[in-house]
Structure 1
Amino acid sequence: MTVDWGLAEKVANQIANRAPFNDVSYLKGLNESFSGFTSTAEKLVETSTGLKSFSGEARAKVVDRSGWIRANFSSLKRLLKPVMAEDSEMKKASISSRIAALEIGAVLGWMSTRVLGQYDLLVLDNEDLKDQDLVYYVGPNICAIERRYAFDPDGFRLWLAIHELTHRAQFTGVSWMREHYLSLVKNLLQEVQIVTDESEEKNNSQIKLLKDPGSSRLTEFKMSNFFTAMDQKDSVKEIAALMTLLEGHGDVIMSRAGKGHVKNQKRFEKVVSQRRKSASGATKIFQKIIGIEAKLAQYEQGEEFIYAIEELEGMDFLNMVWEHPDNLPKLEEIKDPNLWIARIKRLSNE
């Protein structure tokens, strides 16, 4: 696998720079603000979930869109390192490396204009730890949504921090979760095969697109054109099921832990939910191409699963999901919680 990372970052930043509130002056005071809200949110999440991080206190970092892009490229490089080609091989595959760069750059560039917060779960022992295990907040996007909807900044920022700290608690408060998730991703990456189309017509169209890396014609290239998923079916299902659980749990705790602490929480929930679903035109097409639509469905399916288990069996039974990887629900069990309940009861009796 080869990626022209320099081109990818250039494409991402070209897209990001078109969005409003890109001036770094908007970030003034946000680091101090989110440092306090992150600390408060961590305590609220621990009280609500019973999950306490084994990695010490959470650290907040407010970034602009370029900073978010840079951080995610760094994480991607770390994650993809085992399957990346050597430099000599990359030169031989310059076209495919640039096509991959265009796709990755377009995806991260677009996402940098939408993401409000993110927990960086990738921690490697041979990397600088001060740049890892961070909770990122994308300042320009937060300022934009606060101004557009006249949100109370303090309430909205605490509410947002609760969601991100819930994800950190999932990965650092459950001893096996991080390694389990990364093992699933690494298994998937080992199965990935670059799909190359050697037809002259295809190559000519790809080269033409490369001449305009900032092009908004996002439908002209798709990840599905370059990766085959025939051997990835089980891996994809496992990752999708896990992320559905974690995203749903994150939204449930976001609502639950914020009660009594976050003013106007219901309004935040309504606006952000509508924002997730409000894509239209080219944006909606792009969401479909990169799979964001499926991710949006994860929030709802995951929430429904959490609430169903709590209603049928109680919170203590639900918390068995954190005891062992074998207890994680499968996709079909998320859609039918009774299947998961029956399986966990069988496992408990063995």
Structure 2
Amino acid sequence: MPSERLSVVVTRRLPDVVETRLKELFNVTLRDDDTPMSRAELVEAVQTCDVLVPTLADQIDAGLIGQAGERLKLIANYGAGFDHIDVNTARQRGILVSNTPGVVTDDTADMTMALLLAVTRRIPEGLAAVKSGDWGGWSPTAFLGGRIGGRRLGILGMGRIGQAVARRARVFGMQVHYHNRRRLRPEIEDGLEATYWESLDQMVARMDVISINCPHTPSTFHLMNARRLKLLKPTAVIVNTSRGEVIDENALTRMLAANEIAGAGLDVYQRGTDSAQKLRDLPNVVMLPHMGSATVEGRIEMGEKVIINIKTFADGHRPPDQVVPAML
């Protein structure tokens, strides 16, 4: 690598402390406002910089990577998910890709439990009644929800976040079940008091709550498709803090509207569909604007990981959080 400082382009506003450190270390171009870059701006960035720092709002696809200049050697993603980046095309062009795993594990698991409670205890309905002034006082039959203690929780994806959800769910007295690409080691499974299901269909049909905690990959796209959603009990609740593409959103919307599923807590949505608009009108759905990782601490730690990945690369070494083919 040349001795001069790397040219780095950041596509969105980041916490001040992160931006300040980037300016100290690199020749960095920061975003003046907090809007996504246009396609033309992204093309200009990849043609002129050594390192691009995108977020999940940026589509770093094959067409964009194909227009990259010779200088671009690292895409240091600000976030753990990398399904918005065509990693294979980047590798073919000799461009490394890194991410920021682990730093938002607890934040996302907390949000999963918050959504679970919000749906089962009808918290948004109660909040709306108080805020609107329509609440007439306590009633023994008003806003009746359900107790989560004793319920079966089926976790789809038992990585860092899935395991963090399992630990929290046990404290609430839930029975933890899971389906994963690979079964956990016995000592981890025993520590979580979790029951493994090799068949996702069999697990889904028996759970009271399904929590989606797997990444979006070609193999998980619409993993919860219409057929599988129909296996859910009518009293079941589904929570998704992972990626919207894992669920067939149109099928989910139809079933929620028909009360074939009791409720849903969603923090993520499928791109390119209009179902999110229809979901907003349903009383049994709690929707959040992708807040799972939205803590000050988590966002700063994400930035610190980005900086470490870039600095390690600048020093001639492999970024510690490089995305490798086994992760795809």
- Give TM-score scaled by structure 2 length: 0.23
Structure with the higher helix share, 1 or 2: 1
- Give TM-score scaled by structure 1 length: 0.22
Structure with the higher strand share, 1 or 2: 2
